[in-house]
Amino acid sequence: MEISWLNWLYTSVAWVLQKIHAGYSTFLAPDSGLNWALTIVTITVIMRILIFPLFMKQIHSSRKMQELAPKVQELRKRYKNDKQRMNQEVMKLYQGAGANPLGGCLPLLAQFPIFISMFTVLQAMAAGPAKFGMTQEFVDSARAAHIFGAPVPATFFTSAADIEKFGADPVVTKVVLAVFVALSSLTTFLTVRQSVTRSIAQMPDNPMAQQQKILMYISPFFAFFSLQFPLGLILYWVTTNTWTLVQQHWVYSRYPAPGAEEDTAKAKGSTGLMGKLKRGGKAEPEPVEEPPAPKIVRQQPNRQTRSKRTGSKKS
């Protein structure tokens, strides 16, 4: 999958990998699996931090488009017989509000060259000869490293003889790779499920909702293509999926969907303190029920009956 005009990017990724590995090598063995696992995780986190602004731009663009949805529906009804005019008016509306319909693709487009670069560099290290500015010592260190007993350059389809050349047990290597592929599949599903659930919550009447649900359940199977990827690349994929999962959870909770935001405010406002606030910012005091006044019981003296004729007391 090596693309010649991306050689500058491969060289850049290889340079960053070497610097991170050299940093960890100051207190870890250069050929240790922990060193290489930390190196791959660290470069993944660095790359995700660099494209985080694109993810935030995607969120803001998505919220703006959600808010503009009723106006877009009106334009589609008004110009339903003139598709060209309808598209022009819709784009004019988006531009006026600063919304970008392609904003949701920006993080994916940014991740693709990064993935290609990691794949190409790790494949080059697995092949053996140093490329893209890497030293032979650095490549040999990667080939000698084992993560949980599996060689970093090995794939699930690497032959037993080649795995033994890396100084590893073929059975252990296959098991470790299978576990990492399963983790890749699981994190892919959870990430897509989180995104689809939010999308459906934003637009319950979205005609593409059913297709999105189907994609949610199909997406984990694409992870099984990683069986042919080196262990180091699968570790990169699991790390980036985990990062996406945590990042989406944080952003979605911080920036809820417009509809969900209103529903939450209404639910809290109907019974809570926010529902009792006046425009002046002061809370209306709640009526206090006064306890019922105690009944006063007057004790009457016992009257003794008298005789009607004499007036004397009856004995």
Q: Per-residue pLDDT for the chain (315 aa), expressed as one digit of tens each? A: 567 778 889 999 999 999 999 999 999 999 999 999 999 999 999 988 988 887 777 777 667 767 777 777 787 777 777 777 777 777 777 777 666 665 556 666 777 888 888 888 888 887 778 888 999 999 999 989 999 999 998 988 988 998 888 889 999 999 999 999 999 888 888 887 877 776 666 555 555 556 666 766 777 777 777 788 889 989 998 998 899 889 888 877 876 765 555 544 454 454 444 444 444 445 455 555 555 555 555 555 555 555 555 555 554
- Among 61, 309, 4, 32, smallest CA distance to 145 is for 32
Is 277 in a helix, a strand, or coil? strand
d(C-alpha 181, C-alpha 156), whole Å: 9
Sorted by where each begins, the domain ranges of the chain are 4-261
Tell me what pLDDT residue 278 has. 43
User: Which amino acid belongs to residue 5?
Assistant: W
Four-point Cα dihedral 255, 257, 258, 259, nearest 10: -140
pLDDT of residue 126: 79
Residue 176: its pLDDT value, please? 94
- C-beta neighbour count of 295 within 10 angstroms: 5
Instruction: Confirm if 136 and 130 have CB atoms less than 8 A apart.
Output: yes
Query: Radius of gyration (Cα) for the chain, nearest Å?
Result: 35
HSE-CB for 294 with a 13 A CA cutoff: 3
- 8 Å CB contact between 239 and 40: yes
The pLDDT of residue 107 is 65
Residue 179's identity, in one-letter code, is V
Nearest to 256 by CA among 194, 213, 198, 190: 198
Which tokens hold the place of 14? 């290889």
The closest alpha carbon to 129, from 54, 121, 48, belongs to: 121
Distance CA 20, CA 40 (A): 9
Under a CB-based contact definition with an 8 Å cutoff, are residues 149 and 122 in contact?
Answer: no
Task: Give Cα 270 distance to the centre of its chain.
Answer: 31
* CA distance from start to end of the chain: 125
By 3-state DSSP, what share of the chain in percent is helix, strand and coil, each rounded to 5?
70, 5, 30
Length of the chain: 315
Q: What integer pLDDT is reported at residue 222 of this predicted model? A: 74
Could you give the CA distance from residue 221 to residue 46 in angstroms, rounded to a whole number? 27
Q: Name the residue type at position 31.
A: D
Burial of 95 (0-12, 13-18, 19+ CB in 10 A): exposed
